[in-house]
Amino acid sequence: MPATEKSATDSSDSVTIHWSPNLSVGVAAIDGDHRALIDLLNALAAAVAGAGGHGDITLKLDELIARTEAHFRSEEEIMAREHYPEAGHHARVHEALLDEIRQFRSDHLAGTDIGPEITEFLKRWLISHIIESDKHLGGYLEGRGVG
């Protein structure tokens, strides 16, 4: 685990992610989206941890999925516009993540207890995707003067 990942997720509360500057990709619009996704993920974690019922978890999942879809579309539009060489691979990673979240949602609606593993999975996924892929994109965009 990279040091940045640990410091980004290190917290006395095991389900809450706190934003930290080492998560910045250097592009304000993308950082703003990531902060919103972290807020929604924390809200989902709280619902799963017991503060909300089945319907509340569904609502939080739907909000997270919708915001994630919008964010991925936005990144993919930027990648296409700026001729990012790794756009195809990056978009496939996005789609794989959405498939996983939608599967969690289906399981939840089918009555399976999705438990804390969904938030652990999403937390790990979001942080590693930001650090490994989105930061690479951010560096490319900065090099083209997009901030």
Q: Which residues bind Fe ion (CB under 5 A)?
A: 75, 134
CB of 143 to Fe ion, least distance (A): 17
Cβ neighbourhood burial of 43 (10 Å; 0-12, 13-18, 19+): middle
Which CB, 120 or 125, lies closer to Fe ion? 125
The smaller minimum CB distance to Fe ion, of residues 22 and 58, is found at 22
Minimum separation from the CB atom of position 71 to Fe ion (A):
6
- Of the two residues 57 and 141, which places its CB atom closer to Fe ion in the complex? 141
Which residue number has the CB closest to Fe ion? 134
Residues whose CB falls within 8 Å of the CB of residue 78, separated by 6 or more in sequence, listed in order: 30, 84, 137, 141, 146
H and E: helices and strands count for the chain = 6, 0
